[in-house]
Amino acid sequence: MKLKIKAGQNSAVLTADPTWKVRDLSSHLSGTLLDGQSITAYRYGFPSKSVAATSDISLQDAGIKANEQLVAETSSTGQSLANSTALNVASSITSTLSESRGPTSEDKITTANDKIANVYIENVGEYLILRNVPDDNSCLFNAILYALTGSFKWPELNLRHIVAETIQGNPATYDEVVLGRPIDKYCEWIEKSESWGGAIELGILSDFLGVRINCFDVELGSMMVFQNEKDVPAKFIVLVYSGIHYDCFVTNRQLTETKTNDKGNWTTHELEIVGSCDELVSLLQKRNYTTNTTTFRVRCLQCYEVLIGEMGASKHAESTGHYRFGEVN
């Protein structure tokens, strides 16, 4: 199977056997690709999963599929990302973007207000703006709600419950293999306000709401599309995933933080809007709008234990029932 390996600004296509161990990958990569750095982990999938570069698990058992893109985390990138520990990505974007005042013409980024990440879409006559979603463990659901309704809270539309009911009503589609746990356990888990949503939820909600969800992964620099392929929706929204948090894109004639007249869903100008989103995501990549979910450190706010990475936090939550985490500086 073909795999695309990305390391920093370099990339290569590798023909691999599904039975290879993950640790075998490094020996097949050229020194030019790695630029003298050693690989510590690989990130892949959506939302991103991570596996240690020294792991003895096979590629197929790790869930790495043909034509997958793997982002290699090297000893240097791992250290720089670990130092960021940016759990509250939504609030940190302001300071991150203001570090570079006045973009180059190559970026085409407007800085009439350098606190707002934006691109001006000439053909549409509006600004494309990154709207930060509250970091409350429901950012995926709130990003969808804001894009569709202009509000982060909509009591009449319980998205978590919609997901749970859809899964329960379609056990052949959403079985234990897909969910990673028994159906009843998954449904119980996703209805908790502390649980994070991902690709499963995006697919279900796209179908239920009749909207195409275009979602950018900043780390991978790629976009995933969630929609009903048999009944392609006319309406679309655009989300952005930083590695641990979801925000959304809107358009507005005014470049303002007040959110008045924000529009987060559209039926026209998809090519221009998505293209501008891609430009803005490229800027976010340059300005480290990502969180390394393998190495960031969090503290449990219930027992104060310090944990390493998303896996550490997930295991702690499963074993203790503690779901409230905070940033470790």
pLDDT of res. 39: 83
Whether 74 and 123 map to the same domain: the answer is no
Q: How is residue 103 written in tokens?
A: 């973009």
Sign of the torsion angle spanned by Cα atoms 13, 17, 18, 23: negative
**In whole angstroms, what is the distance from residue 52 CA to residue 208 CA?**
36
Contact 73, 42 (CB under 8 A): yes
Whether 58 and 120 map to the same domain: the answer is no
Q: How is residue 164 written in tokens?
A: 């749970």
Whether 266 and 213 map to the same domain: the answer is yes
Q: How is residue 170 written in tokens?
A: 């379609």
- Per the domain annotation, does 53 fall within a domain? yes
pLDDT of res. 9: 65
Task: Output the domain CATH number for residue 202.
Answer: 3.90.70.80
Whether 234 and 169 map to the same domain: the answer is yes
H/E element holding 306? strand 306-308
Task: Output the domain CATH number for residue 31.
Answer: 3.10.20.90
- Per the domain annotation, does 291 fall within a domain? no
pTM of the shown model: 0.61
- Among residues 67, 83, 99, the one where a domain terminates is 83
- Among residues 66, 83, 100, the one where a domain terminates is 83
Contact 139, 152 (CB under 8 A): no
Range of the domain at 302: 296-327
**In whole angstroms, what is the distance from residue 101 CA to residue 251 CA?**
22
Checking DSSP bridges between strand 306-308 and strand 246-252, what pairing results, if any?
Answer: unpaired
- Per the domain annotation, does 243 fall within a domain? yes
Whether 110 and 218 map to the same domain: the answer is yes
Whether 97 and 186 map to the same domain: the answer is yes
Q: How many domains does the chain have?
A: 3
Residue pLDDT tens, the chain, 329 long: 888 887 766 777 888 888 999 888 878 876 656 666 778 888 877 556 778 888 888 898 888 877 777 888 776 543 333 333 333 333 332 333 333 333 333 334 444 445 678 889 988 999 999 999 887 888 999 999 999 999 887 777 899 999 999 999 999 999 988 888 899 999 999 999 888 889 999 999 999 999 999 999 988 888 999 999 999 999 999 999 987 789 999 999 999 888 999 999 999 999 999 999 999 998 888 776 655 555 566 777 777 777 776 667 777 877 887 777 665 54
**In whole angstroms, what is the distance from residue 315 CA to residue 322 CA?**
10
Whether 180 and 257 map to the same domain: the answer is yes
pLDDT of res. 65: 79
Whether 136 and 41 map to the same domain: the answer is no
Whether 8 and 65 map to the same domain: the answer is yes
Whether 245 and 136 map to the same domain: the answer is yes
- Per the domain annotation, does 157 fall within a domain? yes
Whether 197 and 271 map to the same domain: the answer is yes
- Among residues 83, 106, 130, the one where a domain terminates is 83
The DSSP secondary structure of 279-296, one letter per residue, reads HHHHHHHHTT----TTT-
Q: How is residue 108 written in tokens?
A: 């085409």
| Helix 183-190 × helix 159-169 angle, to 10° | 170
Whether 160 and 272 map to the same domain: the answer is yes
